[in-house]
Structures are given as structure tokens and as C-alpha cells.
């Protein structure tokens, strides 16, 4: 059975990139956050239809590709030293659990490095896990304010750790109270939903146990939730962090190599890779003008692509459905 080659995938991505480039990244949505509460924002650099739980499963860095280079964008030497010192604490903790990771910090960008900014009006934020690849050679984090727990929190985001106060059942938030509190910090309802109110979806997020001292939780006030529950995040590393790192960052000796797959299974795997590449393209492309001719060219390519998958049998109906959805979203 023939299968789609990497060159075929590249060609299709090339054509799709033309139309997907109209999905602009809204960098203006990185609004200030309040220093007193220490809020940070998880940043999904992509189209606006992603929820807080989008693509987190499968969004981990490969365990053999954890070491990263970072470069500073602005900031004084004291700020830079502070982030390097407490960032290294995260790397050292990862290594203590057996992860193969090194952080290297640079004063200027180098190929493949991720930018750390210090915009005082930009709050604290980081991209999430594997989708940070779209931020390579660009800003991937910001530290508008500094504390040890803030640095730990943002580097954990970079390695795909989410806000744990959004674990289902952790808090029964009172929307009117939370929205009023966050509005005073300059946050919109959408930002509050994304970073506080919306529960993670267990279907798309690897859920951990909630701990009121987890550094990946916000400081939650009793008045914010119906149970009057509070949280008091701590700088300490907890057993839940140990379990998370061991599972997602440490190569296990008993990990078994995947058995060989047949051609049809390979094609399905290639399609999953292609879907991820298409999603990555959304993050990287912006500011392209609408062009009907280019849309039609993409439609032609997608039609060919759909036929190729349709001929592979019922096992790939999800691929055809996915292509149909792309066409619908692009208005083709």
C-alpha cells in the first residue's frame, strides 16, 4: 500500500500556509496583570478558538530534547541574574528527578533560543510546552514582576504544566466575584475564563491531583468560591511535581519501543503528524491578506488530499472529516 511521503506533506503545508496565514496572532491580548496577586497568563499562540485545554495531551517536549537556550530581551543585569538563578533551580530540580535538561542563558539571541522579556506592563506569562516551538528566536516568556515562585511558575508553563486551580472539582468559582476582582487588574472576561474559570478537560489534559500549596495554582481567596476554599502557593517542590516530572520529562528504563506498524497504521500516524504541523502553521503565520485565487488553489489541493485519504478506507474517515472542517473554517 502506498503512503504519503514527507515531500507530499511539505507541499500541502506550503499551500495551506498561504491561506492559514490569514489567521493572525493577536499579540495585543497580552494585557497587564496585577503584581499584588501574582497572576500570570498561560499563552496559547494560535487562533482564538482554542480553549485553555487545547492540545495539551501530546504537547510535551520530547524527553531527549529538554535542554533549551534562552536569550534576554531588555531587562537590567539584576533582573537577568534573578531569572537565571531561579530558572536554574527549575532545571536542577528536573535533573534531580532524572531528566536530561540544561538551561543556557545568553545576553543576545542565538539560533534556536527562546526570548525572555521584562516588559513591566506585560505581566508574567509563558507559552505552553511544545507549541513554544512557534516562539523560537522570539519572545516566549515575560517577567513584568519577579519573585522566585513566579520564575518557577513560568518555566513550568514552558514545559507544559498548566494552572492546577482549573482542575475539575478544585474550585466552584463564583463568577460575578471573580470577574469583578480580575476586572480591577485590567483583565477581560475572556482572559479570566481562560486562566481561572474554565475547568481543564480530562479528555485533552493530563490531570494531576490538586494541592493548595502547588506553585502552579493561583492564590485563591475564600470569597471567590462557594466552598470558601483557599490556596496558598508555595515555592517548595511537592510530591505531585515529582510524579509529573517523572512521568513527562524522565526517560524510563522500562519504556518499550513501539512495535512495527503496517502501512495503514503508518498513514494514520503521518496524518496525526500533519495535523500537528498544520496547527503549528497557525501559530507562525499572520498578516496575510485575503486572496480568493489563493483560496481556490488551496481548495484544489485539499480536494486531492481528501481523495488520497478516502481511498485508504474507513479507518481514515477522521482524516477526511478533519479536511472538511478545514475547508469549512476557511470558508472554502
Same domain, yes or no: 270 and 159 = no
The HSE-up count of residue 97 (CA atoms within 13 Å, CB side) is 24
For residue 99, being part of any structural domain is answered with yes
| End residue of a domain, out of 191, 223, 248 | 248
Are 120 and 81 part of one and the same domain?
A: yes
Q: How far apart are CA 128 and CA 41, in angstroms?
A: 10
- What domain range includes position 176? 27-248
Neighbouring residues of 3: CB distance < 8 A, sequence distance ≥ 6: 263, 266, 267, 270
Which grid cell is 17?
Answer: 500556509
* Segments in 36-188 forming alpha helices (H): 77-96, 148-158, 175-183
Instruction: Work out whether the CA dihedral 224, 208, 139, 287 comes out positive or negative.
Output: negative
Residue 267, pLDDT > 90, answer no
Query: Domain total for the chain?
Result: 2
Q: Are residues 204 and 120 in the same domain?
A: yes
**Domain endpoint, select from 225, 248, 271:** 248
User: 48, 157 in Cβ contact below 8 A?
Assistant: no
pTM beyond 0.75: the answer is: no
Per mean pLDDT, which range of 116-120, 153-157, 259-263, 318-322 is the poorest?
259-263
- Supply the CATH number for residue 73's domain: 3.40.390.10
| SS3 per-residue string spanning 59-97 | CCCCCCCCCEEEEEECCCHHHHHHHHHHHHHHHHHHHHC
- Cα gap 137→158, rounded to integer Å: 15
**Pair (212, 104) in one structural domain:** yes
Which helix (H) or strand (E) segment holds residue 326: the answer is: helix 317-329
Residues 125, 140: one domain?
yes
Q: How far apart are CA 9 and CA 50, in angstroms?
A: 24
Query: Are 282 and 221 within one domain?
Result: no
Summarised one tens digit per residue, pLDDT across range 130-166 is 989 999 999 999 999 999 999 999 999 999 998 889 9
Same domain, 72 and 116: yes
Question: Would you say residue 122 has pLDDT above 70?
Answer: yes
Amino acid at each position: 500500500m502506498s503512503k504519503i511521503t514527507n515531500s507530499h506533506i511539505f507541499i500541502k503545508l506550503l499551500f495551506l500556509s498561504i491561506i492559514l496565514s490569514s489567521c493572525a496572532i493577536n499579540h495585543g491580548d497580552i494585557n497587564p496583570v496585577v503584581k499584588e496577586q501574582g497572576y500570570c497568563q498561560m499563552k496559547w499562540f494560535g487562533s482564538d478558538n482554542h480553549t485553555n485545554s487545547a492540545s495539551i495531551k501530546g504537547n510535551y517536549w520530547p524527553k531527549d530534547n529538554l535542554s533549551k537556550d534562552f536569550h534576554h530581551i531588555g531587562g537590567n543585569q539584576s533582573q537577568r541574574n534573578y531569572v537565571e538563578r531561579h530558572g536554574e533551580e527549575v532545571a536542577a530540580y528536573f535533573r534531580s528527578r532524572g531528566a536530561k535538561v540544561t538551561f543556557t542563558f545568553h545576553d543576545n539571541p542565538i539560533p534556536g533560543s527562546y526570548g525572555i522579556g521584562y516588559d513591566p506592563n506585560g505581566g508574567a506569562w509563558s507559552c505552553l510546552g511544545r507549541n513554544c516551538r512557534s516562539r523560537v528566536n522570539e519572545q516566549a516568556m515575560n517577567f513584568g514582576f519577579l519573585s522566585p515562585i513566579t520564575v518557577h511558575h513560568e518555566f513550568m508553563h514552558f514545559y507544559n504544566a498548566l494552572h492546577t486551580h482549573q482542575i475539575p472539582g478544585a474550585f466552584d468559582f463564583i463568577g460575578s466575584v471573580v470577574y469583578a476582582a480580575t476586572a480591577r487588574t485590567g483583565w477581560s472576561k475572556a482572559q479570566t475564563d481562560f486562566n481561572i474559570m474554565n475547568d481543564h478537560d480530562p479528555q485533552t489534559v493530563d490531570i494531576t491531583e490538586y494541592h493548595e500549596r502547588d506553585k502552579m495554582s493561583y492564590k485563591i481567596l475564600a470569597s471567590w468560591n462557594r466552598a470558601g476554599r483557599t490556596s496558598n502557593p508555595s515555592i517548595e517542590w511537592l510530591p505531585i511535581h515529582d510524579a509529573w516530572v517523572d512521568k513527562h520529562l524522565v526517560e524510563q528504563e522500562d519504556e518499550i519501543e513501539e512495535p512495527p506498524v503496517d502501512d495503514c497504521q503508518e498513514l494514520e500516524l503521518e496524518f496525526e503528524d500533519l495535523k500537528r504541523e498544520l496547527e503549528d502553521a497557525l501559530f507562525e503565520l499572520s498578516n496575510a491578506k485575503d486572496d480568493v485565487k489563493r483560496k481556490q488553489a488551496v481548495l484544489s489541493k485539499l480536494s486531492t488530499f481528501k481523495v488520497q485519504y478516502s481511498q485508504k478506507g474507513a479507518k481514515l474517515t477522521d482524516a477526511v472529516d478533519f479536511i472538511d472542517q478545514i475547508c469549512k473554517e476557511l470558508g472554502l
